[in-house]
Structure 1
Amino acid sequence: MNIAFFLLPKLEVASVAHDATLRQTLERMEFHRYSAVPILNDEGEYVGTVTEGDLLWFMKNRPDLTFDTTNKVKLSEVPLRMNIRAVAIDSNMDDLISLAKQQNFVPVIDDRNHFIGIVRRSEIIDYCQKRKEYWV
């Protein structure tokens, strides 16, 4: 099965720019109620994914940082603790399933590394469940 069938397109995915501030990132995640969002550079390429944990650990280790000063810190200064890997749009379901075991979503890129959307783990689980029911 083609993974494009499961794709939530870029226009429907909340993401942050690589040059965003810590405050912009916090506010975007809060607004959308997400615990992780993809990071994109100026060319629209997938750079990585920032998680709530990344932000919390960064803030914990910066006692001088207050909410009022989060607008002075760039997201690029925040170390990403998890390597949320992306798959190419022409990947197969096995690639998706193996990544989804560790990630809530799988970023999808085109052949130029441009971010084109995500596949949610819940979609992959639904697919596997339907296949199981079909074969039982």
Structure 2
Amino acid sequence: MEHLRTVDDVMTHAVISVDHDTAFKDLVETMRMWNVSALPVLSGEGRVTGVVSEADLLLNGTDPDPDRATTAERLMTHPAVTVTKDATLEAAARLMARRHLKRLPVVDGDGHLTGVVSRGDLLKVYLRPDADIGAEIRELITGRLTPSGSAEVHVHVAGGVAYLYGTLPDPTLEDVVVRAAGTVPGVVDVKADFTVTAPV
């Protein structure tokens, strides 16, 4: 079965954001303090209306006119490029690559900010070593199978694809094992080939 992990699985839920009237110096200080390269700008209702990035500050922060480019509302890029929490990691990665972004605000169906996802968030799941993924699958499956059963499950992971094979005493256990393997971070697909041995 194909297993597609969503943005909600890896995003950061605690997000640093600013409102429209946040001053230039406060934006710079907030980015420095929290070590982020961009800040979502929210309306009074908590909806994402724009994003202020380091590039926005560098390009517009030195405007000689003191009445311009001094607040988040004037500095931000809008409309904001956002992603929903149920979007797949693949979709979020493509959007980031296409728009040359490092971070994406995550919104609900009404545009309210619920989190943020970064390039690092996306990569840390799919760059897990196959050996680590395999070890976690084995540990998880062991906990799902009864010690007294005659199950024998072998796990091989290649390129994030988990190959499960062996023998099971009950045909219903295959679905349990496959589902368990599919929940392990870094697994992109699960292929199973079991022989069912009915009890004598």
TM-score between both structures, scaled by the size of structure 1: 0.78
Report the aligned-residue RMSD.
2.5
Aligned-residue offset at 1:57: 1.2
Aligned to 1:48: 50
Q: CA contact under 8 A between 1:89 and 1:109: conserved in structure 2?
A: yes
Decide which structure has the larger Cα Rg and report it: 2
Aligned residues: 127
Alignment of 1:1-136 (within 5 A): 1-9=5-13, 12-60=14-62, 62-65=63-66, 73-78=70-75, 80=77, 85-101=81-97, 102-130=100-128, 133=130, 134-136=157-159
Aligned-residue offset at 1:135: 2.4
Distance (Å, rounded) in 2 between the aligned partners of 1:59 and 1:97 = 29
Aligned-residue offset at 1:54: 0.7
Aligned-residue offset at 1:19: 2.4
Aligned-residue offset at 1:84: 5.3
Aligned-residue offset at 1:83: 6.7
Aligned residue identity for 2:158: W
Distance (Å, rounded) in 1 between the aligned partners of 2:31 and 2:76 = 17
Q: CA contact under 8 A between 1:107 and 1:118: conserved in structure 2?
A: yes
Q: Percent identity?
A: 24
TM-score between both structures, scaled by the size of structure 2: 0.55
- Which moved further from structure 2: 31-40 or 117-126? 31-40
Distance (Å, rounded) in 2 between the aligned partners of 1:86 and 1:64 = 31
Name the SS of the counterpart of 2:49 in structure 1: strand
Q: CA contact under 8 A between 1:19 and 1:41: conserved in structure 2?
A: no
